[in-house]
Chain A
């Protein structure tokens, strides 16, 4: 049920390392980039934890695309934004990641891009990474991330 942390980190690291050359190679063949959707992220939602789907596990380290909505940045200078399944509305007391839905993807941009309106569907592409990880600057804990990402309105 639970992923022992070191194992996840090691596997993530390995897939990341494996993914990096792939990323470069895959760039020209953008048409073949596999896509992921929010309902394909987890194979099981349970009270005692979630399980990543086989698709997520198999795509880790690869360039993928996913459609969703951009939640407003936590801080203006944050290096990432949160991609959500539906446009985000947060409670007045949410100052941390604690009140976000389970199914979010944290998107680390390769280069700065301008914010799009929250009701605009966007497609983000980047290298998929999974496993619990704490952003060192903000303390934001994420389970799924896109690295070196970019996005466009669709």
Chain B
């Protein structure tokens, strides 16, 4: 009995102590053998260096990790608050696969974590990997894209999207290390590094110090490709190229907002093809339009590094023919416009940037250029506006961009048909709280728009047309249209109509930094006030915690199955390219 009690006491004590110390990489981390990573121990209290004991699989850590960690007597937080002692060792490499149990003790603190160091097969399964991601891609986006693009008769779709023929392969769990909820930084970082991390973090574990560049780094896919192969790398996004999703291919920062620095990290990795928005971070601060705070001219730096520059659709087509193998295409100072604005309504910022290419043209040019490398390539394609328009509840823009994303998938599949040694992955980074519940039918009687919402049998079918067969609806403001709805949002006015004058701005900020319904939509006939159900500091609909559907086709795709943590996707990608093996001689 006494023994049992003391055992219980010991367990309780250990559990309490276990919370105190943090070891990075975290428990259950999966690490590619041979990939450099930073090791950090954060003690909750100030400890003496001579009291610190660290073993790896029972041996002194220095023997196994090959390096002595630097002891920091006192880490400081905001206002010089002492956070505790720490140990940091940068750029460790574990060349051999297996389980590594790290036991840390110092005074009353202790912590044990186990890492799974894995390796890849000796031979690559595919030469090329095309990773297509629609930011925020949820099931409602795909269903709406199919119905809007192809139509539906008697309950059967009148056609199939390209993505409808990419086999669903896995459900992906997207939660962050610090929260069940998630954002585009940590989610794409999990895909691109094999490590989960905290909301807003990219290519690092999020430590406790305020500095956003000192957090423990992990290798990302671009670095692994450069370390082990001579493959080319391509990054395409309709967002700013420094935005979380494209950034996660190359960058390391605790804070996704460090965009000027992220642009420098893009330059360090030098993806062979880099196409998207965000020129503001390429321009030196003296140039009007720049968002840098230094004099670095990245347009010139990239050009000096042999890149052909393209700033619009015409120049992109010309750059495609130059055969330099290196293309920098920047088409907007900020995020590129949506397909609906760019190709149809000419709203948003299209007047200022009238000749932006779309995702389809960018994907074609990238594949054409990257495929000239006999060693193969990794290409990341992001349809950013699916998320950027889901946040402000602008479903028509989000869905039309999903159709464009589907066309880019079509381009990738055409390429793979001719180059079967290509793995195609189609996925989202996280989901949104959106669903289709029926239609809005202007022909229904009355003036109250709410009464025109068709549910169940009264929904009927929408009447979008595609007379010119371009895959896009001829117009989104048809009389009987899909009704998409978010399960969350700020205070706003629901107008039940597409926003033809420019992207929806549901809420605006007041002097208390609270988001209030944007009165610009108050007088739209039939508009109803929808009270928000998220904190008032939130400006828009938020990401959902729901699983993402990952689809894949081609060699290596068999590695995806069942439920997978987002970080486990990386393991399949590196195994497909055999990145555990040096492929340069």
Contacts and interface: CB of A to CB of B under 8 A. Distances in A.
A89 B332 contact: no
Nearest to B256: A93
B391 interface: yes
A1 B353 CA distance: 17
B510 A118 contact: yes
Given A49-B283, A73-B511, A134 B256 contact: no
A136 interface: no
B293 A141 contact: yes
Nearest to A44: B352
B509 interface: yes
A1 B299 CA distance: 13
Nearest to A87: B508
B334 interface: yes
Nearest to A72: B509
Interface SS of chain B: helix, strand, loop or mixed? loop
Contacts of A139: 293
Given A47-B333, A50-B288, A72-B510, A89 B538 contact: no
B544 to A, nearest CB: 15
B84 to A, nearest CB: 26
B515 A89 contact: yes
Contacts of A89: 392, 505-509, 515, 518, 539-540
Given A87-B505, A88-B508, A118-B510, A141 B285 contact: yes
B509 A71 contact: yes
Contact of A87 (B259, B279, B353, B520): B520
B509 A49 contact: no
A151 B539 CA distance: 26
Interface in B253-271: 256-257, 259-260
Nearest to A81: B511
Contacts of A143: 288-289
B257 A86 contact: no
A92 B388 CA distance: 12
Contacts of B513: 72
Interface stretch (A23-31, A59-67, A94-102): A94-102
B527 to A, nearest CB: 15
A47 B518 contact: no
Interface residues of B, number: 48
B539 A2 contact: no
Interface centre among A3, A73, A98, A119 (most CB of B within 10 A): A98
B315 to A, nearest CB: 10
B312 interface: yes
Interface string B265-302: 00000000000000110011111111101010001000
A35 to B, nearest CB: 21
B287 A3 contact: yes
B7 to A, nearest CB: 47
A4 B284 CA distance: 10
Interface centre among B256, B286, B311, B516 (most CB of A within 10 A): B286
Contacts of A90: 509, 539
Interface in A49-85: 49-52, 71-73
A3 B284 CA distance: 10
Interface string A1-33: 111110010000000000000000000000000
A47 B183 CA distance: 28
Contact of B352 (A45, A49, A72, A97): A45
Contacts of A72: 509-511, 513
A154 interface: no
Contacts of B508: 87-89, 118-119
A92 B391 CA distance: 10
A132 B286 contact: yes
A132 B257 contact: no
B283 A48 contact: yes
Contact of A2 (B287, B519, B540): B287
A139 B257 CA distance: 15
Given A45-B352, A48-B299, A94-B257, A117 B510 contact: yes
B256 A49 contact: no
A47 B293 contact: no
B377 interface: no
A73 B510 CA distance: 9
Contacts of B510: 72, 117-118
Contacts of A102: 280, 289, 333-334, 352
Nearest to A2: B287
Contacts of B461: none
Given A2-B287, A72-B511, A93 B200 contact: yes
A52 B287 CA distance: 11
B331 interface: yes
Contact of A48 (B259, B311, B352, B518): B311
B353 A47 contact: yes
27 contacts: A2-B286, A3-B286, A5-B285, A5-B286, A45-B333, A45-B353, A46-B289, A47-B312, A47-B332, A48-B287, A73-B511, A86-B505, A87-B508, A89-B506, A89-B515, A91-B539, A91-B540, A93-B257, A99-B257, A102-B289, A102-B352, A115-B511, A132-B286, A134-B285, A134-B293, A141-B293, A143-B288
Interface of B: 183, 200, 256-257, 259-260, 279-280, 283-291, 293, 295, 299, 311-312, 330-334, 349, 352-353, 391-392, 505-511, 513, 515-516, 518-520, 538-540
